[in-house]
Homo-oligomer: A and B are copies of this chain.
């Protein structure tokens, strides 16, 4: 295991392995080989081994991986070994689904506070929490110390909220709004876009070419 930067696809798969391992643990399985992980995850066994090799050596030749041991190691890698508080901004539809989602807990992710700017909503209960005024986000996170934030506000407010999150000390943002956020280089953003996913599926589900070749730039209006 040499000193390289970890590829993002590797990080994404780590979370998948963790789920497979937790399922196996639940089922009382104590050991898994990379081959068996492939069966359950659909991810190539060599890929699994190489992914882990970025972080160390976790298996025993001839045996495989200790399920409990590897769970702990991946949790440590992903910083899910201690509770990870999260700031949620936007107490709307998406926000409601998130605060009520029990699986976060299993990964030690906890929505620690919810913010909105709608005076009708501020102060109301929301899941186990009470909706806070977005204006107090910095002050409140001084206590919580969250490094992760979720943006679940309309696109028009997303950049403004991102700025506030960064100011409050957040360095990782999960963004549900359909916008490109501008953030300092040390802040990481991941976008969730159902529309994008559906658009890709829409193409794949038909898989046939129509808009091929030809006339270009004609389409109701003209360039120039």
Contact = CB atoms under 8 A, between A and B. Distances in A.
Copies held by the complex: 2
Given A63-B223, A103-B195, 9 more contacts: A30-B223, A31-B223, A56-B214, A58-B217, A63-B224, A79-B205, A84-B202, A147-B206, A170-B205
Contact of A59 (B147, B209, B216): B216
Contact of A56 (B63, B104, B213): B213
A100 B93 contact: yes
A57 interface: yes
Contacts of A196: 12, 15-16
B70 A219 contact: yes
Nearest to A223: B66
Interface residues of A, number: 91
Given A196-B16, A217-B65, A180 B223 contact: no
A60 B190 contact: no
A199 interface: yes
Interface of A: 1, 8, 11-12, 14-16, 18-19, 30-31, 40-42, 55-60, 63-74, 76-80, 84, 86, 93-94, 96-98, 100-101, 103-104, 107, 109, 147-148, 170-174, 178, 180, 188, 190, 192-206, 209-214, 216-224
